[in-house]
């Protein structure tokens, strides 16, 4: 691995700005790293190396631009987010040939900030899954152990960042899809507050839950990315008309968490959490304590109902959102269709994979006449109670901490045949999306038994990403450095 | 009452999916397990609780009601499976 790809995003960004590294060098270093590691981890669905190199050369010719926060920094984008003139498949056969004619706002902002987009990363089809095994194209492997899942649905982005293929990547988080793969792959993953980042150009899954955010290797790197992609957008009415702080500046300086109160919800620490996960997270809390933070117990009493609530809401919204894929305007069309009804049914049946079909069918069921009140309306009521739990807890603390996942990354195939079991594993990540609040998963060590990375989540008040970023940066400074992933340590696999 | 393959077929039809018998059988079993699990919400007291459908708290910001051309016809048709150069083409309806 070259010295360049070992650098953090902010470090390489600063070297690029000082002309110590050329944009072309940074891009080539990432492309070389991709060539060496991609046959093992299969994180990328589409690589645009020629475009990226041309872009880098043109930028070098013009010279660094101090106005551009990510000038020359190579990044990857989850393939659920539109990048102009690049395939955007959502890891689905139904969008196999879809090439958007516009950039998502988050991508537009990355480009405007000087980032170089290398390509698109793998995901569970339409972001539906927690392991990236539901991709119609390939199964991504965890860079720490190639027989294990990288988590999901942003598993390609997490694996790529962990493997040093790029300096940061965009992911999306509907029920934990940034935070859980970040935890499984040993990276930082930030789900911003609902409304912080425009979703224009993101292929919709659960519209009241979806949020775009960064996966990166440090809190500073995530802060730099969030500062660039955040902000109101007239093309997304859910984006909040609020000022965006400079998150990087907000967390600059010596780590000091005195005055910060961290709540630990009993529901996240007691039952069903593997010992090695609990232990590593406890050590991270001790680190926070050593920096002056106060730890207090809090309660989120409706947590046991979060999985049922989440899947009703998410599947209902998915069934509505995915009705747009009808074989008429874009996407796959079954050529054998003789009638319009045939065209809809055959295109959707052949284009969507099994997990997507399952969610559409259950979503249709919970929204259907006679069941709407019992399922969808009821779930929306419990959703308010879940949100209220957080608002009550935040009266006693500034941030809330708990494990990101009850366990570390598991073997590929282990949960593939049991969808309900897979859904239940999302227990610690989904409440946050229901409440619309920000959350960050940070690596807190490697499991003593498993040798796999462990992630801890930090939840914040609405639009207070700065506090969770500051706390994460502080804790990371005290905890031992995260080693590089072990399963791809070789220089080349060719 | 467990969800049957016939019920799954009815719902799939509403969702414009055409699933074969084996798949319907498998789906019905999985749906039944998932929906049964969802029914645990029945034990939560929610009388008088206003449903929360979106976490958005800000008032919607409107933009000027002005005509803006942000893409061309060619852009819109570019990804269509079948067009006549001006419109999307679908099988004969009437």
ipTM summary value: 0.95
Topology given in CATH for the domain delimited by A3-257+438-478? Amidase signature (AS) enzymes (3.90.1300)
| Radius of gyration over every alpha carbon of chain B, rounded to an integer in angstroms | 23
Query: How many C-beta atoms lie closer than 10 Å to residue A376's C-beta?
Result: 21
- Please give the residue that has the higher pLDDT: either A421 or A143: A143
Predicted confidence band of residue A344 (pLDDT cuts 50, 70, 90): very high
Q: What is the mean pLDDT of residues A87-109?
A: 97
pLDDT higher than threshold 50 for residue A206: yes
For chain B, what is the mean pLDDT?
93
B56 touches chain A (CB under 8 A): yes
- The interface residues of chain B toward chain A in range 14-53, judged by CB-CB distance below 8 A, are 14-19, 23, 27, 30-31, 33-35, 37-42, 44, 46, 49-53
Q: For residue A380, give the H/E element and its range.
A: helix A378-393
Predicted confidence band of residue A494 (pLDDT cuts 50, 70, 90): very low
What are the residue boundaries of the structural domains of chain A, listed by start?
3-257+438-478
CB A226 within 8 A of CB A213: yes
| Alpha carbons B25 and B8: distance in angstroms, whole number | 8
Q: What pLDDT, on the 0 to 100 scale, is given for residue B63?
A: 85
Q: What is the mean pLDDT of residues B8-34?
A: 93
B33 and A420: CB-CB below 8 Å? yes
Q: How close A192 gets to chain B, by Cα (Å)? A: 13
What are the residue boundaries of the structural domains of chain B, listed by start?
5-42
The mean-pLDDT minimum among A13-27, A270-284, B54-68 falls in B54-68
Strand order in the sheet with A74-78: A44-47, A116-121, A74-78, A168-172, A212-216, A188-191, A439-446, A453-459, A399-403, A261-265, A294-298
Q: What are phi and psi of A357, to 5 degrees?
A: -60, -40
Where b means 16+ CB within 10 Å and e means fewer, A332-366 reads bbbeebeebeebbbbbbbebbbebbbbbbbbbbbb
Share of chain A above pLDDT 90, in %: 95
pLDDT higher than threshold 70 for residue A490: no
A349 and B18: CB-CB below 8 Å? yes
Q: What pLDDT, on the 0 to 100 scale, is given for residue A313?
A: 97
B68 touches chain A (CB under 8 A): no
A263 touches chain B (CB under 8 A): no
CB A156 within 8 A of CB A140: yes
Share of chain A above pLDDT 70, in %: 99
Q: What is the mean pLDDT of residues A92-117?
A: 98
Nearest CA in chain A to B58: A240
| Alpha carbons A212 and A113: distance in angstroms, whole number | 17
Q: How close A156 gets to chain B, by Cα (Å)? A: 25
Nearest of A46, A484, A98, A427 to residue A268 by alpha carbon: A427
pLDDT higher than threshold 90 for residue B93: no
Report the predicted TM-score, pTM, of the whole model to 2 decimal places. Answer: 0.97
Provide the 3-class DSSP secondary structure of residue A155. Answer: helix
Q: Which residues contact B91 (CB under 8 A, 6 or more apart)?
A: A337, A338, A339, A340, A342, A343
The string of pLDDT tens digits covering residues A412-456 is 999 988 889 889 999 999 999 999 999 999 999 999 999 999 999
Q: Which residues contact A258 (CB under 8 A, 6 or more apart)?
A: A291, A292, A293
CB A64 within 8 A of CB A22: no
DSSP state at residue A96: T
Q: What pLDDT, on the 0 to 100 scale, is given for residue A272?
A: 87
Q: What are phi and psi of B30, to 5 degrees?
A: -65, -40
pLDDT higher than threshold 80 for residue A143: yes
| Alpha carbons A246 and A475: distance in angstroms, whole number | 21
Q: What pLDDT, on the 0 to 100 scale, is given for residue B1?
A: 66
- The interface residues of chain A toward chain B in range 153-212, judged by CB-CB distance below 8 A, are 194-195, 208
Q: How close B33 gets to chain A, by Cα (Å)? A: 7
CB A157 within 8 A of CB A169: yes
The string of pLDDT tens digits covering residues A366-414 is 999 899 999 999 999 999 999 999 999 999 999 999 999 999 999 999 9
Structure tokens at A362: 């259950």
């Amino acid at each position: 691995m070259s010295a360049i790809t070992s650098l953090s995003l902010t470090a390489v960004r600063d070297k690029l700005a000082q002309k110590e590294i050329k944009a072309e060098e940074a891009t080539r270093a990432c492309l070389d790293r991709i060539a060496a590691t991609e046959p093992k981890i299969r994180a990328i669905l589409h690589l645009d190396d020629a475009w990226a190199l041309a872009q880098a050369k043109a930028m070098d010719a013009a010279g660094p631009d101090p106005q551009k926060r990510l000038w020359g920094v190579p990044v990857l984008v989850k393939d659920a987010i539109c990048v102009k003139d690049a395939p955007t498949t959502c890891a689905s056969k139904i969008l196999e040939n879809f090439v958007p004619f516009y950039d998502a706002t988050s991508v537009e902002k990355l480009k405007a900030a000087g980032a170089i987009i290398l390509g698109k990363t793998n995901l569970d089809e339409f972001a539906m899954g927690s392991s990236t095994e539901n991709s119609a194209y390939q199964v991504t492997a965890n860079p720490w152990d190639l027989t294990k899942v990288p988590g999901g649905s942003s598993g390609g982005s997490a694996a790529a960042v962990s493997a040093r293929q790029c300096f940061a990547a965009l992911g999306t988080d509907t029920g934990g899809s940034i935070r859980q793969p970040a935890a499984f792959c040993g990276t930082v993953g930030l789900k911003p507050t609902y409304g912080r980042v425009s979703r224009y150009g993101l292929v919709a899954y659960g519209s009241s839950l979806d949020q775009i955010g960064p996966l990166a290797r440090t809190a500073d790197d995530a802060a730099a990315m969030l500062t660039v992609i955040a902000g109101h957008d007239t093309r997304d009415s859910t984006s909040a008309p609020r000022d965006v702080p400079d998150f990087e500046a907000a967390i600059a300086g010596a780590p000091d968490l005195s005055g910060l109160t961290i709540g630990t919800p009993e529901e996240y620490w007691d039952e069903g959490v593997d010992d090695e996960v609990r232990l590593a997270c406890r050590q991270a809390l001790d680190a926070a304590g050593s920096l002056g933070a106060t730890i207090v117990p809090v309660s989120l009493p409706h947590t046991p109902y979060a999985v049922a609530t989440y899947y009703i809401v998410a599947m209902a919204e998915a069934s509505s959102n995915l009705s747009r894929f009808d074989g008429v305007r874009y996407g796959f069309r079954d050529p054998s269709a003789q009638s319009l009804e045939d065209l809809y049914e055959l295109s959707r049946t052949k284009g969507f994979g099994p997990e997507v079909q399952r969610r559409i069918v259950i979503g249709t069921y919970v929204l259907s006449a006679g069941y709407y009140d019992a399922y969808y309306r009821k779930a929306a009521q419990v959703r308010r109670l879940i949100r209220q739990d957080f608002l009550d807890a935040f009266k006693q603390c500034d941030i809330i901490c708990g494990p990101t996942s009850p366990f570390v990354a598991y073997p590929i195939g282990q949960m593939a045949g049991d969808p309900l079991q897979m859904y239940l594993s999302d227990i610690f990540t989904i409440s946050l999306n229901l409440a619309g609040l920000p959350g960050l998963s940070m690596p807190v060590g490697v499991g003593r038994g498993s040798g796999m990375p462990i992630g801890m989540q930090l939840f914040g008040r609405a639009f207070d990403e700065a506090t969770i970023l500051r706390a994460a940066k502080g804790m990371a400074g005290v905890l031992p450095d995260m080693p590089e992933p072990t399963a791809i340590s070789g220089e080349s696999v060719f | 009452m467990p969800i049957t393959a016939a019920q799954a077929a009815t719902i799939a039809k509403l969702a414009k999916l055409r699933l074969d018998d084996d798949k319907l059988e498998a789906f019905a079993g999985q749906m039944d397990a998932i929906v049964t699990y969802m029914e645990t919400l029945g034990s939560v007291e929610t009388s008088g609780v206003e449903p929360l459908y979106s976490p958005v708290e800000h008032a919607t910001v409107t933009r000027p009601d002005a005509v803006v051309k942000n893409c061309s016809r060619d852009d819109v048709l570019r990804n269509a499976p079948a067009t006549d150069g001006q419109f999307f083409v679908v099988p004969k309806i009437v």
